[in-house]
Structure 1
Amino acid sequence: MVHLSWDQVQEQISQANDLPSLRAIREQAHETYRDPLLFADFMDYHVGLNRLHDALIRRTVQLAEAAAAQRGLAAPQPGYAFVLYGSGGRSEQTLWSDQDNGLVYDNPSCEEEAEHAARYFEQLAGDIHAGLEHLGYAPCTGQVLAGNALWRKPLAEYARMVESWMEEPVWENIRYLLIFSDIRCVYGDESLVERLRQTQLNFVKSHPDVLQAMLRNTLHHKVQLNVFGGLITERYGEDAGGIDIKYGVYIPLVNGIRLLAELAGIGAASTLERLDGLERAGAIAAPFAGELRQAMKTVLKLRAMTPYQMEGELYTTRGKLQPEALTRQVRQELKFCLRLGRKLQRYVTHAVKGERQ
Structure 2
Amino acid sequence: MSGLPNQNEQNRWQNRLDELYQKRLSDLKKIEPTIQNVHELHEKLMKETLQVAIEKTESEWGSVPAHFTFFVMGSAGRAEQLFWSDQDHGIIFEQKEGTDKEELQTYFLELGETIVDALEAVGYERCDGNVMASNKKWCKSRQDFTDQILRWLKEDTWENLRYLLTFFDGRVVSGSEEFLTDLKQTIFKEVQRNPKLLNRFKDNTGRLRNGIGMFGQLLTETEGKHKGTFDLKQLALFPYVNGLRLLAIQEEVLASETLERFQQLSESQSDIKKYEPSYRKLLEKRLMWQQSIDQYDYIHHLQVSSLDSDEKRQLKQWIKEGRELYHKVEQIVGRE
What's the TM-score once normalised by structure 2's chain length? 0.89
Instruction: Give the Cα separation in 1 of the matches to 2:179 and 2:258.
Output: 21
Counterpart residue number, 2:144: 157
User: Which residue number in structure 1 is paired with residue 22 of structure 2?
Assistant: 24
Aligned partner of 1:271 in structure 2 is 258
Q: Note the 1:1-357 alignment, pairs <5 A.
A: 18-33=16-31, 39=32, 45-71=34-60, 73-76=62-65, 78-112=66-100, 114-227=101-214, 229-236=216-223, 239-278=226-265, 281-285=266-270, 288-290=272-274, 292-304=275-287, 305-306=289-290, 308-310=293-295, 315-317=296-298, 319-354=300-335
Query: C-alpha distance in 1, partners of 2:175/2:57?
Result: 16
The alignment's TM-score, normalised by the length of structure 1, stands at 0.84
Structure 1 residues 26 and 316: alpha-carbon distance in aligned structure 2, compared to 1, 3 A threshold: farther
Structure 2: how far apart are the matches of 1:125 and 1:116? 14
Q: Percent identity?
A: 31
Compared with structure 1, are the counterparts of its residues 235 and 119 closer, same or farther at alpha carbon in structure 2 (3 Å cutoff)?
Answer: closer
Change (3 A) 1:123 1:319: same
- Once the two structures are TM-superposed, the CA of residue 243 in structure 1 deviates from its matched residue by 1.5
Separation (CA, whole Å) in 2 of partners of 1:276 and 1:17 = 42
| Structure 1 residue 228: Cα displacement | 5.0
Question: Gapped runs of 5+ residues in structure 2?
Answer: 1-13
**Equivalent residues of 1:245, 1:302 under 8 A apart:** no
* Matched-pair contact (CA < 8 Å) for 1:170–1:213: no
**CA distance in 1: counterparts of 2:210 and 2:277, whole angstroms:** 17
Structure 1 283/17 Cα, relative in aligned 2: closer, same or farther at 3 Å? Answer: farther
Residues of 2 paired with 1:351 and 1:159: CA distance? Answer: 28
Q: Which runs of 5+ in 1 are unaligned?
A: 1-15, 34-38
**Aligned partner letter, 2:281:** T
Alpha-carbon separation, structure 2, partners of 1:327 and 1:251: 23
Q: CA RMSD in A?
A: 2.1
1:193 Cα deviation from its structure 2 partner: 0.8
CA contact (8 A) 1:98 1:138 kept: yes
Deviation, structure 1 residue 236: 4.3
Asked if 1 retains the 8 angstrom alpha-carbon contact of 2:199 and 2:333, the reply is yes
C-alpha distance after superposition, 1:109-160 (max 9, x if no partner): 2243x23321221111111111001101001111100001100000011011
Question: 1:262 Cα shift?
Answer: 1.0
Aligned equivalents of 2:166 and 2:311: distance in 1?
30
Q: Cα gap change, 1:141/1:298 in structure 2, threshold over 3 Å: closer, same or farther?
A: same
Cα shift at 1:197 = 1.1
Q: Is the 8 A contact 2:71 2:91 kept in 1?
A: yes
Q: CA deviation at 1:288?
A: 4.2
Distance 1:145 1:282 in 2: 36
User: 8 Å contact 1:215–1:259 — kept in the other structure?
Assistant: yes
Distance in 1 of aligned mates of 2:159 and 2:261: 24
